[in-house]
Amino acid sequence: MASTTAHKLSDKKLAVLGTGKLGGILLRAYLKQELFSPKRVTATVKHTEKALALAKELGVSVTTENRKAVKDADIVLLGVKPQVVGEVLKEIAPELNEKTLVISVAASVPTSYIEQRLTGKVPVVRAMPNTPAAVDCGMTGLCRGAHAGPEHLEMARAMFNAVGRTVAVDEKNMDAVTGLSASGPAFAYIILESLAEAGVKVGLPRDVATLLAAQTMKGAASVVLETGDHPALLKDAVTTPAGCTIDGIMELEEGKLRVTLIKAVVKATSRAGELLFEK
Ligand SMILES: NC(=O)c1ccc[n+]([C@@H]2O[C@H](COP(=O)([O-])OP(=O)(O)OC[C@H]3O[C@@H](n4cnc5c(N)ncnc54)[C@H](OP(=O)(O)O)[C@@H]3O)[C@@H](O)[C@H]2O)c1
């Protein structure tokens, strides 16, 4: 089913509005995987010099004119900052209709906010990906708006499955997805960097320490994904009675690692709900 949908995407005209860090990661992946045909892709950015550089790099049409970019588009991927979504929708609304699928990756922006700024029953899917999409290891939460059907969600899923995994959630959980898996890579990099520093402290060369830390985190995450086992059970399997791991765990508990991570996600989630209302 997913590969059939992915196959169908190559006939579609795609407009990526706001081709910055995330929009750029997604578009580069789509072109590399030939999910969309370069001649059917138009991208936009704010600055002309950025448009020229991107057009040269990606081999697609890049402009600063959003309205022109979405003309006859089948799919519009909104990759601008939350505070800019309103003004971009105002520009493009006259060109969109019930046949255009709008996919927004903007944090904090509800589907209803987008729907209210468009005319007619335009299908909207809200997506929350993360930057590991750059190496096809992304995680994207998705939900559909009032006028989007299962076929629209399927199309969006195919676009994000191409760069990792997807999960459909209720829209009320989208800020939580933002706080956990969209902000999550930053938290994971801090943990990884700290493990590498620890390796240096106990005498390992930095490059070796970083490799050990990164592959260990990747390995542990892969086991959870592949077995479906509870992380606590997997942790117990590493923790030999009176061994060294339990001593390390005691330090983690004393340093309040768990509660600190929980608080980090809670803070990021509540912040995710505020972004739209800032100028
Ligand atoms: N970064 C992440 O990890 C992540 C994860 C999930 C979701 N998101 C969401 O993705 C969106 C973009 O985030 P980002 O980190 O990629 O930000 P970013 O790198 O700043 O990208 C924003 C892009 O929008 C362009 N832009 C600004 N105003 C525009 C306009 N009026 N018309 C067309 N393009 C315009 C900018 O153009 P210039 O380059 O010319 O300035 C830039 O390329 C946000 O809504 C964010 O919530 C990001």
Write down the pLDDT at residue 254.
98
CA gap 57, 59 in Å, rounded = 6
Contact 220, 229 (CB under 8 A): no
Range of the domain at 238: 184-272
Write down the pLDDT at residue 279.
61
The CATH number for 222's domain is 1.10.3730.10
- Ligand 1 contacts (CB < 6 A) are 17-23, 44-47, 50, 66, 79-82, 84, 88, 105-107, 128-131, 182
CA gap 85, 79 in Å, rounded = 9
The CATH number for 63's domain is 3.40.50.720
CA gap 240, 120 in Å, rounded = 62
Residue 127: what are its φ and ψ, rounded to 5°?
Answer: -130, 145
Q: Whose CA is nearest to atom 22 of ligand 1?
A: 20
20-29: b or e for each residue (b if 16 or more CB lie within 10 Å)? eebbbbbbbb
- Ligand 1 centre and the CA of 275: distance in Å? 13
Q: What is the pTM of this model?
A: 0.94
Q: In this structure, are 33 and 127 located in the same domain?
A: yes
Write down the pLDDT at residue 1.
47
Chosen domain end from 124, 145, 169? 169
Write down the pLDDT at residue 214.
98
- Ligand 1 centre and the CA of 18: distance in Å? 5
Mutate to test the pocket of ligand 1, among 16, 28, 46, 137 (most ligand atoms within 8 A of CB): 46
Query: Could you say which residues of the chain have pLDDT below 50?
Result: 1
Residue 44: what are its φ and ψ, rounded to 5°?
Answer: -130, 155
Write down the pLDDT at residue 278.
75
